[in-house]
Amino acid sequence: MPQMAPISWLSLFIIFSMTFMIFNMMNYYSYIPLMPKSNFIIKNNLMNSLNWKW
């Protein structure tokens, strides 16, 4: 029935929007950044760079 077409388009749009938002939220919150231990890395690199091997 052509009269029912707007309801089906609206439901498809809502389902697509919710799926898109859930997919984006899952991707955003699943990423865990690795925090480097900056003090240890800086000290280690500084000590290695000062020891020249001629």
Tell me, yes or no, if the pTM score tops 0.85: no
Q: Give residue 52's pLDDT.
A: 59
Q: Helix, strand, coil % (nearest 5) of the chain?
A: 80, 0, 20
Q: Give residue 16's pLDDT.
A: 97
- Per residue in 8-48, pLDDT (tens digit) is 888 999 999 999 999 999 998 887 777 666 555 555 555 55
Residue 6's alpha-carbon distances to 15, 17, 20, 21, 37, in angstroms, are 14, 16, 21, 22, 56
